């Protein structure tokens, strides 16, 4: 939980905060508190339509920024319900899933001959360094090395 509190405050203090990360961190903290004190809502079935709608939206346009509120409205549930259901069914938060999709998109752009900066921009990353950190985390290699290896 401490990690999410730190992440929340760092987003709130950032010059250009990522609303999706901030919302997820806040709701994750609230979810942990609710679970710790026995507040448990209804259980959704696996493959719920609300989560499916959010996943489809993220997969349809990962380069387009979104918020948890937008995904929740699209899904017809509250942000809290969406975050819990999404994590339970997908195994990641909407933001983490979006970053995974964007990194895969970057990999396709690199394979198509785009530069790392172009790929980062086209995939929806704020900047190349953010994309590079996510790329290394997911694939264990820098985008430059990846591009050199496939060329």
The pLDDT, as a whole number, for residue 56 is: 96
Predicted pLDDT at 43: 47
Buried b (16+ CB within 10 A) or exposed e, 133-145: ebbeeeeeeebee
Tens of pLDDT along 17-44? 788 888 888 888 888 777 776 555 544 4
Tens of pLDDT, residue by residue over 97-144, are: 999 999 999 999 999 999 999 999 999 999 999 999 999 999 999 999
Label residue 47 by pLDDT band (50, 70, 90). confident
Question: What confidence tens digit (pLDDT) does each residue in 65-89 have?
Answer: 999 999 999 999 999 999 999 999 9
Q: Which two tokens stand for residue 6?
A: 């730190």
Nearest by Cα to 121 from 131, 113, 135, 111: 131
Residue 45's pLDDT is what?
45
User: What residue ranges do the domains of the chain occupy?
Assistant: 2-91, 98-150
End-to-end CA gap in the chain: 43
Domain 98-150 - what CATH class? mainly alpha
CB neighbours of residue 72 within 10 Å: 23
């Amino acid at each position: 939980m401490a990690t999410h509190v730190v992440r929340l405050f760092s987003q709130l203090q950032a010059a250009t905060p990522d609303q999706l990360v901030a919302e997820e961190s806040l709701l994750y903290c609230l979810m942990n508190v609710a679970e710790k004190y026995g507040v448990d809502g209804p259980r959704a079935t696996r493959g719920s339509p609300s989560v499916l709608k959010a996943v489809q939206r993220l997969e349809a346009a990962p380069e387009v920024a979104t918020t948890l509120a937008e995904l929740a409205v699209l899904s017809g549930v509250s942000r809290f319900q969406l975050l819990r259901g999404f994590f339970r069914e997908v195994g990641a938060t909407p933001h983490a899933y979006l970053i995974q999709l964007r990194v895969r998109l970057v990999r396709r752009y690199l394979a198509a001959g785009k530069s790392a900066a172009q790929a980062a921009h086209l995939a929806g990353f704020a900047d190349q360094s953010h994309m590079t950190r996510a790329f290394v985390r997911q694939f264990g290699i820098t985008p430059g090395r990846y591009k050199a290896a496939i060329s």
